[in-house]
Structure 1
């Protein structure tokens, strides 16, 4: 109020100073000119906005108001813009609100975009954040692309680091329900410099029918988009389909033509274990289709007749009185499709349906209840195939991303089971197992060596576990021949790794022996001079095995023993990161990606790929790469 009063008084004085005052000096009235008051001091910027903005004058005379917190610029002249824009900015300044004073707006937006991108529902992120957090989709897009390019540069530097070793890739393809496009995803799996198992989505593209590149061309461009990634590929894991197999074979051929694959590509193509097990489950389901069909008829009959529900409850009570564990809840809801995995609950309905034939003559006359022979056959098959179903669940779960050595006993157990079923007395099971084993033989021939090498690199087991499992699968005589082949290939692989050159190994591990020499150099010199009688591989296999504990951290063991076995450690780092299934890329990733509908929210391909990649990177940060 005091300032306002002074301004009012000064304005009145200014008006009087421009007029003539008539003064009476006793001799009559004369005109007297009053001298103007002294010029006022410089007017202060009294608006509260100047507590938050700095005002500067540029060379061309224009004025700018710069936010002290986020450094955003506005016109600073009151004649052109006033302070309304500045007041609006004060209310929404991210730097001021978040306590990030001094940080540029782009940095603040980037931090917010990180939080937004890691939410569970990709579609809601784009729809909600574009309107609430950033004001428009274009702002969100800019932040996603900025984050993508920044993080991609970090990953590219890691890929090109000589100490990073080789990478294992998975290729995934999904056909959208509309049939118009195919989603293609490329993921790398590796063990980082800190000996931690990691995976990163590298690229995500949609391929339409009109795309001349095709699926192989798309995946090749995805690999080439990452500088020198093609020079560091170790293996490729693909689904067990004709289409995926063709893509993986073409990628393998392309890399072999450039002499980029190690071991002449012998181990480069790994089939998806989960996919082939699901195919075996389908074979099992085919064997019980008749019982499944009749069971569905029984369930529909009960649901469609109100009095049948009452009679069914009476049948359940009677069955329980005779020792059955069936309950009312075992009856599926109306219209529910029964999968093979749900058969365990269906089997308990067997006694209830048998009793229902007594309580309900109409039900009995329809003759839809499966015969006892069908129930026995289905129960016996389910008991066997359940082994495969449990394996699929363990491989597809959230904790499925494990080192490769873990899967050798699991795969061997499945293969042994199939061999036993084929030789069993039950003709139904034997016939079913024969079809299954034929498919699994192909997988075993392609991937058995990879799994065997990985388990040999487990210091708890080494070669002993391979010999024991082969005896279980092949018998004593054939097992010896199979083990000879594994040992031969193991030595050949070791020779290729040890012949990689001392410079490469030194850069890879950067470790010294007790004499202060690089381990790889000293080892190779010893071999040349004849001073070392045994190789690393021989020493490793002959040393006592580590105690066979369940909770064993194999990566920590290899990190500690790298100085003792630098060449084998390089092998371990490559082999233990090989994914046995494309489901290991990210168990929940497939479903999340499929929620994104670019046509509904007008997302261009570049932004879609950046969004999918950044979301994966922010959920699984790579601090050590």
Structure 2
């Protein structure tokens, strides 16, 4: 190509932003070419050729520099009025910048999708990707108004049309509506029941929110959970109002007929609210065993409260130890003196002294445990440093030693609850029985200070145990490694001579639950499987449904039992237990594989094992406070907060799966 007589055409009439990266050259034969300023490649520059091929080249050009917005629009800026934002003119706060004068110009397009040959830019898709990012990571909606964000986006993709926070909020709401329909479809097709958990949250402005989460085992035998509602509530409302809010949510999601249990906080839930919901569902025969397993209280909450009882009893001693550690760490000289004492036989430890985070009770346990290892060093420091006056006495150290030795189990059990991402209900019975045994032993301590604390903690635990132990036992029985033996083993130790009646109660509950599942499975063809209990009182009986032989079906079941035909439950309990130490044992996979052998019992296991015995998230199991919304989301209206919280949970679940 002969460039000897080429003429550079002035760009005063070139409207496209791509000409910032090309020089338009007119050749001797009057044809025009476009020369890339970065790699010097020559492309057609004819006015009839358009600019799409130039954009495609810029996407692929390896030498193209990462231009800032001022450079990108420099040529256009000379022809337009107004001042453009200079990246070097930085301000500490966005409020100090005149956003009106920051102009991000876009190509005018007829459609959201702009074709780059083999690459497409979709404005709508990018908008919703932005909304999903904000939902997923909890970013503030008004981040799209930040100058830094605008600069970054425009430098990354100049064709993206910037949006307002109002537009982003509308996009988030649209995502919420679409994702909600997906969740509705999933819940509608579930093969088993749903268990619900209720959590209280608070915003920074004092508003209270009720978070309702559905827990279930899906058709592939995976334990799943979905936040259904995040509702603002008024603490001054009556119990009727609170129970009505929950019932309304159940009905709106059409899961009132599918509910198996509800898990509540152990310390903040009014029993009357639970009773009202339970009675409402029981009246319509929607609960198994007349709701005997419906009311569940969070196990982690109970352990948390008992630990708080212990810390309250140790309050003065803990303050002394906390003050002692602060003193040691107050200066390098004191720290060096303390380290020297420890090295000379004052209780040197491989661990370093640390202060606790008083919002994380396990950190207080660790602080006390490590301090005990330096007990002798603190004695010697007290004897050699007149300034240090807060050393605990021998009796106080002894009490800390005894109490922390007992609390070690609480930490281990709570930690065990959280090490599983999706813990099934069978895991809790043995652990909580160990806690029960520990409390019984602790109450025998000769120190009245220790024993009185133990009695207080045991009283709190027994209140929980009376309410939830039956459900825990049933779940443990459905673990093929345990079956009835684990109940017999622990009840014998916990209740002594009273064990037989407790064991009998667990057996009767398992049999009653099995029979109701058997009736429910038999009635599937009649379309009333959501109803449980005495089938003779259910709508859709044999005469109403037109099935004249359903009575015959019951006759066959009864005569088979009389003839010695074993039920699923009988076969399961009589067969040897699965080895407890088998590596990689997955109880849900076991039931998935054995469902054809135990059709009724597997249906029952699906419902029972999905109960959220502990509903506390892994990252907040040791927290002493209520879960809080962050600053940005606290300032939003309740409807938007619910949409963002629910959509975030649903999108995360989808990504994880």
Check whether TM > 0.5.
yes
Shift of 1:221: 3.1
C-alpha distance 369-210 of structure 1, shift in aligned 2 (>3 A):
closer
C-alpha distance 210-50 of structure 1, shift in aligned 2 (>3 A):
farther
**How far apart in 2 are the matches of 1:583 and 1:207?**
21
Output aligned runs, 1:535-554, within 5 Å.
Answer: 535-548=567-580, 549-554=582-587
**How far apart in 1 are the matches of 2:503 and 2:117?**
64
Shift of 1:584: 4.4
Aligned match of 1:348 = 373
Shift of 1:328: 9.7
> Unpaired segments of 5 or more residues in structure 2?
1-25, 32-45, 55-103, 154-161, 530-549
Output aligned runs, 1:316-331, within 5 Å.
Answer: 316-322=339-345, 324-326=347-349, 329-330=352-353
Select which of 597, 600, 603 maps to 1:564. Answer: 597
Number of aligned residue pairs: 531
C-alpha distance 575-327 of structure 1, shift in aligned 2 (>3 A):
closer
Shift of 1:382: 0.9
**How far apart in 1 are the matches of 2:163 and 2:656?**
31
Moved more, 577-586 or 128-137: 128-137
Shift of 1:379: 0.8
Aligned match of 1:373 = 395
**How far apart in 1 are the matches of 2:145 and 2:605?**
44
1:123 aligns with 2:151: no
1:495 aligns with 2:522: no
On the 8 A contact 1:460/1:546 being kept in 2, the answer is yes
On the 8 A contact 2:172/2:644 being kept in 1, the answer is yes
**How far apart in 1 are the matches of 2:411 and 2:405?**
10
Residues 406-439 of structure 1 show CA distances to partners (whole Å, capped at 9, x for unaligned) of 1111111111111121134444332221111111
On the 8 A contact 1:173/1:244 being kept in 2, the answer is no
1:431 aligns with 2:449: no
On the 8 A contact 1:311/1:356 being kept in 2, the answer is no
C-alpha distance 523-417 of structure 1, shift in aligned 2 (>3 A):
farther
Residues 93-117 of structure 1 show CA distances to partners (whole Å, capped at 9, x for unaligned) of 666479674x975455434533443
Aligned match of 2:305 = 279
Output aligned runs, 1:213-362, within 5 Å.
Answer: 214-226=241-253, 228-243=254-269, 245-299=271-325, 310=333, 313-322=336-345, 324-326=347-349, 329-330=352-353, 332=355, 339-362=364-387
C-alpha distance 465-209 of structure 1, shift in aligned 2 (>3 A):
closer
On the 8 A contact 1:167/1:235 being kept in 2, the answer is yes
Shift of 1:51: 8.3
Shift of 1:378: 1.1
SS at match of 2:200: strand
Select which of 613, 616, 630 maps to 1:583. Answer: 616
Aligned match of 1:171 = 198
Select which of 176, 185, 201 maps to 1:148. Answer: 176
C-alpha distance 245-89 of structure 1, shift in aligned 2 (>3 A):
farther
On the 8 A contact 1:170/1:582 being kept in 2, the answer is yes
**How far apart in 1 are the matches of 2:183 and 2:417?**
27
Aligned match of 2:158 = none
Aligned match of 1:48 = 50
Larger radius of gyration: 1
Aligned match of 1:422 = 443
More helix per residue: 1 or 2? 1
**How far apart in 2 are the matches of 1:622 and 1:506?**
38
Shift of 1:256: 2.6
Q: What is the TM-score when the length of structure 1 is the normalising length?
A: 0.74
**How far apart in 2 are the matches of 1:334 and 1:167?**
37
On the 8 A contact 2:204/2:631 being kept in 1, the answer is no
On the 8 A contact 2:203/2:628 being kept in 1, the answer is no
On the 8 A contact 1:145/1:610 being kept in 2, the answer is yes
On the 8 A contact 1:117/1:615 being kept in 2, the answer is yes
Aligned match of 1:32 = none
Residues 204-246 of structure 1 show CA distances to partners (whole Å, capped at 9, x for unaligned) of 12224687885434333333331x1111111000111243544
On the 8 A contact 1:316/1:326 being kept in 2, the answer is no
Output aligned runs, 1:445-456, within 5 Å.
Answer: 445-456=466-477
Aligned match of 1:511 = none
C-alpha distance 286-543 of structure 1, shift in aligned 2 (>3 A):
same
C-alpha distance 47-147 of structure 1, shift in aligned 2 (>3 A):
same
Select which of 107, 119, 140 maps to 1:88. Answer: 107
**How far apart in 1 are the matches of 2:356 and 2:432?**
36
Residues 165-192 of structure 1 show CA distances to partners (whole Å, capped at 9, x for unaligned) of 21000000123354x3102111010000
Aligned match of 1:137 = 165
Residues 6-31 of structure 1 show CA distances to partners (whole Å, capped at 9, x for unaligned) of 9xxxxxxxxxxxxxxxxxxxxxxxxx
**How far apart in 2 are the matches of 1:129 and 1:165?**
46
Aligned match of 1:597 = 632
**How far apart in 1 are the matches of 2:395 and 2:656?**
60
Aligned match of 1:386 = 408
**How far apart in 1 are the matches of 2:638 and 2:192?**
31
Residues 338-394 of structure 1 show CA distances to partners (whole Å, capped at 9, x for unaligned) of 83442112223322221123322344xx5x321111101111111111211222233
